[in-house]
Amino acid sequence: MSLIKNLKRKFFYFVLIAYSAFTVVPFLWSLSTSAKPQDEVFQSNILPHHATVKAYVTVFKHIQPSFPSLFANSLFIASVVVVLHLVFASLAGYAFARLKFPGRDLLFYVVLGTMMIPDQLRLVPIYQLLVKMGLINSHPSNYLAIFLVKAISATDIFLIRQFFLSIPRELEDAAKIDGAGPFGTFTKIMLPNAMPVLATVAILTFQGTWNDLFWPSIVLQSPNHWTLPFGILEFKGQFSTDWPPIMALVVLSTLPILAIYIFGQRFIINMQLSSSVKG
């Protein structure tokens, strides 16, 4: 009996470890390929026989736009979008959770309803609108187009509203007795207490914007404005079978997200999910 149990247990761990290998090894493989010379690319050695940084020199110096430019654009766009989401979603989330005003519930349902509209339906009319506004161009104002498209998120408003609803009313009542108005209550009581959900929104927005391919590939006109995923799409076509530099781009574009994931894991895993599933 205990022998069978022991075997079962071993098999259980074997499955867990085998599947972990399945999820992690491909990334190690991309790292290894990025350090291989071209003739070793399809050999099955995981450690390169003749390790080289040539691929990294290529993506830093020889491609146009270079990796630093793609990185800077991704970082700039993702950071601005994070700030926009934090400001708009916390203001709206607080108003929908706590303030009483005519039309509140109707407007909240409108916000939720917009979640049903797929981005691909918005593609044509938004593109037309941006053309009319003169934002589809190769000047820096092109960035405004992507900020406008990505400025608002119904999910983030929903997440923050749910969190505010869970904060005890006594906290606000205490502030009110001290003479704080709605705005004072918001900045002095609600925001400091909402740090976990704000961190979650910031991390998920950053990750989503950093990884997005759809809108940048449609809106961004000049190669000088391209983001990393857009760069990968374009260079994959250009390099075709020159895999080491492509894998170098894959590795370099994933590292920042990996770092954020490691530091922000507890926010991503614990917060986002419990609030979205439990509603």
Partner 1 sequence: MLAVATRPPNSVAARQKRRRMWNEAFVGWGFISVPMALFLVLSVGIFFYAIYISTYKWGMLGPRGFVGLKNYKQAFHDPIFLKSIRNSVLYAVLVVPLQTALGLLLALLVNSKIKGAKFFRAAFYFPSIASSAAITTLFIFLLAPAGLFNQVLSFFGVNVPNLFNQGAWLSDSRTALLSIVGLNMWTTSGTMMLFYLANLQSIDGSLMEAGVMDGATRRQVFWYITMPLLKPAHFFVVTSGMIGALQLYDQAILAGGADGSPDYSLMTMVLYIYNACFRQFEFGLASAIGIILFVIIFSLTLLQRFAFGSSAWRGE
Binders in 76-135 for partner 1, by CB under 8 A: 88-89, 91-92, 94-96, 99-102, 104, 107, 110-111, 114, 116-129
User: Does 228 participate in binding partner 1 (rule CB under 8 A)?
Assistant: yes
CA distance 181 to 188: 10
User: Does 151 participate in binding partner 1 (rule CB under 8 A)?
Assistant: yes
Question: Is 2 or 241 the residue whose CB approaches partner 1 more closely?
Answer: 241
User: Does 276 participate in binding partner 1 (rule CB under 8 A)?
Assistant: yes
**Helix 119-132 and helix 142-150: axis angle, to 10°?**
140
Kindly determine how many residues on this chain lie close enough to bind partner 1 according to the rule CB under 8 A.
90
CA distance 236 to 248: 12
| Footprint (CB under 8 A) of partner 1, residues 48-77 | none
Q: Which of 77, 86, 157, 202 binds partner 1 (CB under 8 A)?
A: 157
DSSP 8-state assignment for residue 242: -
| Footprint (CB under 8 A) of partner 1, residues 7-46 | 12-13, 15-16, 19-20, 22-24, 26-27, 29-30, 33, 42, 44
Q: Which of 213, 222, 238, 263 binds partner 1 (CB under 8 A)?
A: 213
User: Does 152 participate in binding partner 1 (rule CB under 8 A)?
Assistant: yes
- What is the residue-wise DSSP string for 75-120? HHHHHHHHHHHHHHHHHHHHHHHH---TTHHHHHHHHHHGGGS-HH
SS3 279: coil
For the chain, the straight-line distance linking the first and the last C-alpha, in angstroms and rounded, comes to 44
User: Does 256 participate in binding partner 1 (rule CB under 8 A)?
Assistant: no
| Footprint (CB under 8 A) of partner 1, residues 159-178 | none
HSE-up (13 A, CA, CB side) for residue 169:
3
| Footprint (CB under 8 A) of partner 1, residues 229-248 | 229-230, 232-233, 236-237, 243, 246-247
Token output for 278: 């439990």
DSSP 8-state assignment for residue 180: -
| Footprint (CB under 8 A) of partner 1, residues 177-196 | 181-183, 186
